[in-house]
Amino acid sequence: MDTNGAYILRVEDLKKYFPLRRGLLGRGIAHVKAVDGISFAVRRGEILGWVGESGCGKSTLGRTVLQLERPTSGKVFFDGQDLTQLGGEQLRRLRTKMQIIFQNPYSSLNPRMPIGRALIEPMVVHGIARGKQAQERAIELLQLVGLNPYFINRFPSEFSGGQRQRIGIARALALNPSFIVCDEPISSLDVSIQAQIINLLQRLQQQLGLTYLFISHDLRMVQHISDRIGVMYLGKLVEIGPTEEMVHHALHPYTQALWEAVPIPDPEVEEKRQVAILEGDVPTAANPPSGCRFHTRCPYVMPVCREEEPALVELAPGHFAACHLHKR
Ligand code: SF4
């Protein structure tokens, strides 16, 4: 692992368990293992795509990395500092460098606050700018995300879904971050608007030298935007590698099944195509299957898969997978 600053973020054996409480006394009887021992690193200036079915724990991972949820255990190094050991003022100061763009920008905007104030407030709170300087910066941010600064005194309800997501992006940029978790940033938008927001995110990433953890269930979008892709299943990272490798030489049966399920844009080809549908429901993270968690749905399951959890191993340069079919 490079330690000379090439990696902005390094996550080590991260776990986030939520207690399941039942009964009048609300005693914890089990845990939902939303994130269960995940390690990876993000290079400065790259876009790391992060995919998996809904409920696999990918949003919890993003929130836990940013310490919006405190981890159950594990470490998260940001610019060399372990965030899990920080609290109070130290964490607050570092948080300005790490931001999040939410799936639903409307729920993260105060409906009674004009958007200009929503942009200025974090700058004032974090001591980045105030008064006229903050006002000018808010105007600059609106222009940066393609909104007319004339809108600065309007309320969130006066904007369309795509415009609100632009406001959400402007707010994430207000504190000059270097790392942004994009948590399903386009999934609540009309298809016609999605490409515009993706293009905006790409332009900003290049223009401002940003690093993204781009979480999505839309594989085509992730393929389009990412330098590398990580695949998560039931709280575990099962495969990670460069985008080209992950698309054309996926090694894990789950990744292969995800790609199989992506529709082909040509309706004629799509109609004739034989798709191997993933059998069965996603098991519960409160009681995950033994051994390989994918074994209840895997077409290649072997006896060892039920017994032994496969380790994530490097099978090609930078390409890791956790599957007993591919042992070194
Ligand atoms: Fe399938 Fe076994 Fe590989 Fe899991 S370890 S993905 S069950 S072959």
pLDDT tens for each residue of 113-151: 999 999 999 999 998 888 999 999 999 999 999 999 999
CB distance 246 to ligand 1 below 6 Å: no
φ, ψ (nearest 5 deg) of residue 110 = -75, 115
Distance between CA atoms of 298 and 284, rounded to whole angstroms? Answer: 16
Residue 118 lies in a domain: no
pLDDT top residue among 101 and 3 = 101
CB distance 310 to ligand 1 below 6 Å: yes
CB distance 304 to ligand 1 below 6 Å: no
Distance between CA atoms of 222 and 230, rounded to whole angstroms? Answer: 10
Residue 135 lies in a domain: no
| Protein residue with least CA distance to atom 7, ligand 1 | 295
pLDDT at 28: 62
Query: What range does the domain containing 259 cover?
Result: 7-97+177-326
* pLDDT of 23 strictly over 80: no
Expressed in angstroms and rounded, the spacing between residue 25 Cα and the centre of ligand 1 is 40
pLDDT band at 315 (very low <50, low <70, confident <90, very high): very high
> Cα angle vertex 191, ends 187, 192, to 5°?
135
pLDDT band at 31 (very low <50, low <70, confident <90, very high): confident
CB distance 305 to ligand 1 below 6 Å: yes
Top mean pLDDT of 166-170, 274-278, 280-284 is at 166-170
> What would the mean pLDDT of 15-31 be, rounded to a whole number?
77
pLDDT top residue among 242 and 273 = 242
pLDDT tens-digit profile of 207-261?
Answer: 999 999 999 988 999 999 999 999 999 999 999 999 999 999 999 999 999 998 8
Residue 321 lies in a domain: yes
In 3-state terms, the chain is what percent helix, strand and coil (to 5)? 35, 25, 40
Across the beta sheet with 73-78, the strand order is 27-43, 7-22, 73-78, 81-82
Portion of the chain with pLDDT greater than 90, in percent? 72
CB distance 325 to ligand 1 below 6 Å: yes
* pLDDT of 4 strictly over 60: no
Query: Do the Cβ atoms of 50 and 214 come closer than 8 Å?
Result: yes
Cα-based torsion angle of the residue sequence 255, 260, 261, 264 in order, rounded to the nearest 10 degrees: 130
Q: Which residue has the tokens 């399941």?
A: 20
Residue 216 lies in a domain: yes
pLDDT band at 44 (very low <50, low <70, confident <90, very high): very high
Q: Mark out the alpha helices in the chain (DSSP H runs).
A: 58-65, 88-95, 105-108, 115-125, 131-144, 161-173, 191-208, 219-225, 243-248, 253-260, 267-272, 303-307
Expressed in angstroms and rounded, the spacing between residue 153 Cα and the centre of ligand 1 is 55
pLDDT band at 270 (very low <50, low <70, confident <90, very high): low
pLDDT at 30: 81
CB distance 316 to ligand 1 below 6 Å: no
Residue 148 lies in a domain: no
Query: Do the Cβ atoms of 180 and 172 come closer than 8 Å?
Result: yes
> To test ligand 1's pocket by mutation, which of 300, 307, 312 has the most ligand atoms within 8 angstroms of CB?
300
pLDDT band at 275 (very low <50, low <70, confident <90, very high): low
> How many domains is the chain partitioned into structurally?
1
CATH assignment at residue 230: 3.40.50.300
* pLDDT of 274 strictly over 80: no
pLDDT band at 276 (very low <50, low <70, confident <90, very high): low
For the CA of 310, the closest atom of ligand 1 is 5
Expressed in angstroms and rounded, the spacing between residue 231 Cα and the centre of ligand 1 is 14
Query: Do the Cβ atoms of 34 and 17 come closer than 8 Å?
Result: yes
Expressed in angstroms and rounded, the spacing between residue 108 Cα and the centre of ligand 1 is 39
Distance between CA atoms of 308 and 296, rounded to whole angstroms? Answer: 14
CB distance 311 to ligand 1 below 6 Å: no
> What would the mean pLDDT of 33-55 be, rounded to a whole number?
94
Residue 166 lies in a domain: no
Expressed in angstroms and rounded, the spacing between residue 326 Cα and the centre of ligand 1 is 9
Q: Which residues contact 3 (CB under 8 A, 6 or more apart)?
A: none
pLDDT at 15: 97
Helix or strand holding residue 98 (H, E) = strand 98-101
CB distance 253 to ligand 1 below 6 Å: yes
Token pair recorded at residue 249: 């030489």
* pLDDT of 185 strictly over 70: yes
pLDDT band at 272 (very low <50, low <70, confident <90, very high): low
Q: Which residue has the tokens 């080809």?
A: 269
Sort strands 98-101 and 313-316 into parallel, antiparallel or unpaired: unpaired
Residue 105 lies in a domain: no
Residue 142 lies in a domain: no
